[in-house]
Structure 1
Amino acid sequence: MWILKAGVLYFAIVFGAGFVIGPIRILGSSLVPGIGNRVFTSISRKACQTLNFGRSLTG
């Protein structure tokens, strides 16, 4: 049962982070057109990878 709880918690953390990072990426690329969408996409991708990799180190 603890595996199911851990999986649900992990899903909630990653989904919540994506829910927060996604609008920042979209709004950032539209508010700062000089930087462009590619920079904000790469920043959000690195943030999600860090979150996933950091979680795998603790498990």
Structure 2
Amino acid sequence: MARNRGVMSDQLKEELAKELGFYDTVQQEGWGGIRARDAGNMVKRAIELAEGQLANKENK
């Protein structure tokens, strides 16, 4: 069975991890090494960015 591709690109995940301050953990331990809270914060921030982009498109 084929794995589903993730919604977020690796580049976006890395940028968010840097912004949120846990990129060093990702580099040392991989994505499995981050805390659930960090993963949740990353998803929350990605949603905020997407909503902002959508609002900008609607206002144009």
Q: Give the TM-score, by structure 2 length.
A: 0.46
Kindly indicate which of the two structures has a greater share of residues assigned to helix: 1
Larger Rg: 1
Q: Give the TM-score, by structure 1 length.
A: 0.47
